[in-house]
Each structure stands twice: as structure tokens, then as C-alpha cells.
């Protein structure tokens, strides 16, 4: 499983964990949700949010692996998703 999180640049925090087997599906779902809710925080302040990959979870061994440099990897900004 891929571990993702939405980063809030204004609050300077990573939000709840998102688990997936396909990052593109998460991006599509987020883009759809953003476009359907034009009064949502994600739509109104899309420049404040980014999607990051934090690592991977192996559900057989229970191991969590992180990127080589231990720094979350930027997947995309919500501004990109809003304009998709």
C-alpha cells in the first residue's frame, strides 16, 4: 500500500493518512471532489494544499518503508487538481 497525506501549507501540518494501491486514482478522486464542492476549503484555498507520498506499507510483513532521503515526495498541488 502506498501511504499518502495532504499537506496544509498554511497550518504547516500533514493531515490524515490516505492508503492506496494507485496514486492516479486518488488524484482523480480528489480532483472530482474539489470540482464538485466549490465552497470547500480545498477549492477556495487550493494553493494551500499539496498531496505527498510518505512511503509504502507492506501488509504481509508490517514494514513501512520511506523514500530514500526520508523526505516526503510531492505528488501534486491541489491547484493542479483543481485545474485538471
Backbone phi, psi, residue 73, to 5°? -100, 125
* Chain center to CA of 20: 10
Average per-residue pLDDT in the chain? 96
First to last CA, the chain: 25
Q: Of 48, 67, 55, whose CA–CA distance to 23 is shortest?
A: 55
Residue range 27-74, pLDDT digits in tens: 999 999 999 989 999 999 999 999 999 999 999 999 999 988 899 999
Q: What is the pLDDT of residue 47?
A: 97
3 has pLDDT over 90: yes
Amino acid at each position: 500500500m502506498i501511504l499518502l497525506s495532504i499537506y496544509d501549507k498554511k497550518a504547516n501540518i500533514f493531515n490524515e493518512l490516505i492508503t492506496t494501491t494507485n496514486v492516479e486514482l486518488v488524484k482523480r478522486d480528489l480532483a472530482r471532489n474539489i470540482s464538485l464542492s466549490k465552497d470547500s476549503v480545498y477549492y477556495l484555498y487550493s494553493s494551500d494544499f499539496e498531496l505527498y507520498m510518505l512511503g509504502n506499507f507492506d501488509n504481509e510483513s508490517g514494514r513501512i518503508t520511506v523514500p530514500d532521503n526520508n523526505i516526503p515526495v510531492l505528488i501534486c498541488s491541489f491547484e493542479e487538481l483543481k485545474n485538471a
